[in-house]
Structure formats: C-alpha cells, structure tokens
Amino acid sequence: MDAPLAHRAPQPPAPDPNPDARWLGPVMHTAFFLLLAASLARFLLRHPGEPRTPWIIALSLVLALLYVLGPALGPGTEGERRPTGRRLLWLGAVVAAWVVLVLLAPSFAWCAVPLFYTGLRTLPAGGAALLVGVLTAFVVVAQLRLSTGFDPNLLLAPPAVAALATAVFVHMERQAARQRALIDDLLRTRRELAATERREGTLAERQRLSMEIHDTLAQGLSSQQMLLQAADRTWDTAPDTARGHVRTATEITARNLAEARRFVHDLAPADLADGASLPEALRELAARTGELAAEAAAPPGSGAAAGAGAATAARPLAVRLHLDGAPAPLPDRVQSALLRIAQGALANVREHAAATTVALTLTYLGDQVVLDIGDDGRGFTPADPAAPGAGRERGHGLPAMHARVRGLGGTLTIESAPGEGTVVSAAVPLETAV
C-alpha cells in the first residue's frame, strides 16, 4: 500500500558553499606568476650583467616550482584550517625563497600580494595575521630601498593595502562560513520536509483506503452475511428463495470486486462509471439498498427462534430519493465523496438503526450542494460514541464521512436523539471543491 508513495525524486546536487573560491584561487595563482615574471624581467632589464643575476634567476625558478607544488599538498581543512606539517613546511619554504629574492632584488616585493592570499588560506587567523605583518614589513623595506628619497606613501601604503586585503578576505571567509551553515540548514530542512511529505502521503493513502474499504468491502461483506444467513434459514423450507439469496450475494461479491479494483487505482465508484451523474448513482444505490434489505429480511411464517431474531435485525427498508433545486454538473471528487457518504450512512441505517424508511435528499443551492440522509430509526446520542448507531464496532463510518467532507472544505452535521431517528447532512461548497 505504501509502495506508490515511497518513490523518491532524485535530489538535486547541493550548491557550492563557497563559489568565490573557485575563481579567486586561479586568479591569485595567475597573478603570482605574472608578478614573478614581471619582477624578473624588470631586474634583468635594469641590471644587465650583474653577478647576482644567476642567483636571481635560480631563486625565481625555485620559487615558481615551490609554488606549483602547493596544490599537490592539499589545502588546510575547512573551518579551523589546521594545516598539515608538509603544508606548513611548504609555506615556510615559499616565504623564505621570496624573502631572499626581496633582499637581493626589491622589485620582487610585488609578489607579496598573492602570498597574502596563500597565507590566509593556509594558516589559522592568528598565524595568518602574523605572516601578513612580516610580508608587509619586507614590502616596506623593499620599497624604501628602491626609492631615491623619503616618501610617506611607501611607508604607509603597503600596510594599508595589506590591512584592506586581509579585511576583505576575512569578510569573505565569514560570509562563506555563514553561507555553508545556511545551506546545511536548508538541506536538513528539505530532507525533513521530504520525510514529512512522505509520511503525510502515506497516512493520506491509508486513510483513503480505509474509508474505501469501509464504504465498499465492509458493507458488501455485511450484506453478504445477512443474505447467506437468510439463505441458511430458508434452505430446507424454501430452496428457491434461498438460491435467490445466494445469487444476490454473488452479485454483491462481483460488485465489491469491481469496487476494490477501482479504488486501488483511485478511480471513481462503479456507480459513477460510464458518465453516470450523482442523482442516477444515488437512485441506483437507493433501489439496491431497498432490495437488499427486503431479501435479507426473514420470510413470513418462519417459526424458528433464530429466524424470529434475524427478522427483527433485518427488516424491509424503503429508501426514497428527492432532488431539490436545479441540477448542475458537479466535480468528480464531489460526486464520489457524496456517493460514498450516502453508502456509509445507508450501511449504518441498515445495520444499526432498525429503521423502516430512509429519505435521501440532494439539494442544489448554486454555491453549494447538500446531501441529507434521514431515517426513522431508533436514533442515538451523537456525543456518545458507545450509543447504538454510532458505529462502535467498526469505528470508521462517521469519521470517514467527516474526513471526506472536510477534504472538500465542507461540513458534516449529525442530528439525532434516542427514539427520534437520525439525519446526516453533508454540505459541500462548490467554489472550493472544483
């Protein structure tokens, strides 16, 4: 029963919690190699034939190779970013090679900006701030060495740029962390919502099947039981009558089998098949209920005690249908629900009310449709679930009616009192039922 509801739609892939890192990293790496190449070219153009040129070239190549090895060592862990020992060693070697290059050729100080990013990505906050401070100090020293005179900008601009770059990076990291937390919450909420929807769908399907079983199979089995009991009582004295009861029970079995196949596939009731309208289905139901009650009643003249007791329980029942107002087309779900409500109410009357007359009244009011089922039976106290007619043995009749009407935005009213019969009224607004 739960299998049709257990299928799960494929879950979309989780969004990237930090999409900026996908482009920021390559940009910084590209900038590092461009700055390294530009610094080397500037040195070679400004200082041709210098004795330290081979060392500058060799250190530039070493720094480039060290930098390339960084991705192979893997990044630090997300969150606290605790780097491995190998990555710390790599970062120390890169910084050392750069410091030597800056001391030999101050123009290599421009490579510090990508190294800021590398340090901030690798080290915890405290260690990254310390590294940025050291790199900034070397940048200031390198700029002052290149200057021919004192320039305050060379002293103040690098710390300001480093502070700004650090603040922007820290802000981005915090934003990414908050975004990751939000995405985790959304994914967890989506999983919980999907689980809740599956549970609600399962419960709704179970409720639908329980109502359908109560209004079709259970009623059919009850009718078959009465007919077979009547056939058993008359088998010896009136075999033709008994065979008639058995044939009717067989017809009910075939009808119930068709109903079972239809509600398993969530189709309309069999009485509404082939385009039949609700009044036609109710008229057929009324006639069938009256015939069934007449057949189940004990035949006159049966003197057995069991026969007398059964005659009291199963008596002829006159079922009449009245139409009020101008008939109008109704949505299929409204027709199905009202027909099932009529079936359940008539089953309660036949089994519990000991009534002789039932009136079905279908009223069209333009903005709503009302179905009244009134009987002249023994009645009961609606607030007392243990009262006769309240369906204590099965416990699904009235709750199923309430559920059907509530699902259509309507109301179900039950008026009854001991000895005064019962009226069940189902009102469904047509605006919300379409």
Q: Does residue 12 lie in a domain region?
A: no
Q: Does residue 167 lie in a domain region?
A: no
Residues in the chain: 434
- Please identify, among 116, 150, 184, the residue that sits at the C-terminal boundary of a domain: 150
Rounded Cα distance between 398 and 382, Å, is 10
pLDDT of residue 310: 41
Q: Does residue 210 lie in a domain region?
A: yes
User: How is 103-122 classified by DSSP, letter by letter?
Assistant: HH-GGGGGGHHHHHHHHHHH
User: How is 209-252 classified by DSSP, letter by letter?
Assistant: HHHHIIIIIIHHHHHHHHHHHHHHHHTTT-HHHHHHHHHHHHHH
Same domain, 365 and 285: yes
Same domain, 87 and 31: yes
Rounded Cα distance between 119 and 63, Å, is 15
Rounded Cα distance between 126 and 129, Å, is 5
Q: Does residue 345 lie in a domain region?
A: yes
Rounded Cα distance between 295 and 431, Å, is 42
Q: Are strands 422-429 and 368-375 parallel, antiparallel or unpaired?
A: antiparallel
Same domain, 31 and 89: yes
Same domain, 341 and 424: yes
Same domain, 340 and 406: yes
Same domain, 213 and 347: yes
Q: Does residue 177 lie in a domain region?
A: no
Q: Does residue 79 lie in a domain region?
A: yes
Taking CA atoms, 153 is separated from 129, 136, 143, 221, in Å, by: 22, 14, 10, 98
Split into its structural domains, the chain has a count of 2
pLDDT of residue 314: 55
Instruction: Return the exposure string of 318-334: e unless at least 16 CB atoms fall within 10 Å of the residue's CB, then b.
Output: ebebeeeeeeeebeeeb
Rounded Cα distance between 151 and 305, Å, is 123
Whether the predicted model's global pTM rises above the 0.85 cut? no
Same domain, 142 and 240: no
- Please identify, among 132, 150, 168, the residue that sits at the C-terminal boundary of a domain: 150
Rounded Cα distance between 111 and 97, Å, is 11
Same domain, 91 and 31: yes
Q: Does residue 338 lie in a domain region?
A: yes
Same domain, 273 and 369: yes
Instruction: Yes or no: say if 255 and 227 are a contact pair by the CB < 8 Å rule.
Output: no
Same domain, 369 and 296: yes
* Segment-wise mean pLDDT, segments of 10 residues, the chain, 434 residues: 40 48 73 86 84 88 86 52 76 87 84 80 79 82 73 74 78 82 89 82 71 70 81 85 84 76 64 80 87 64 38 68 89 88 87 88 92 92 57 60 88 91 92 58
- Please identify, among 150, 167, 185, the residue that sits at the C-terminal boundary of a domain: 150
Rounded Cα distance between 426 and 414, Å, is 9
pLDDT of residue 264: 62
Angle 128-163-36 (CA atoms, 0-180°, nearest 5)?
70
If you ran DSSP here, which 8-state letter would residue 145 be given?
H
Range of the domain at 273: 193-433
| One-letter identity of residue 41 | A
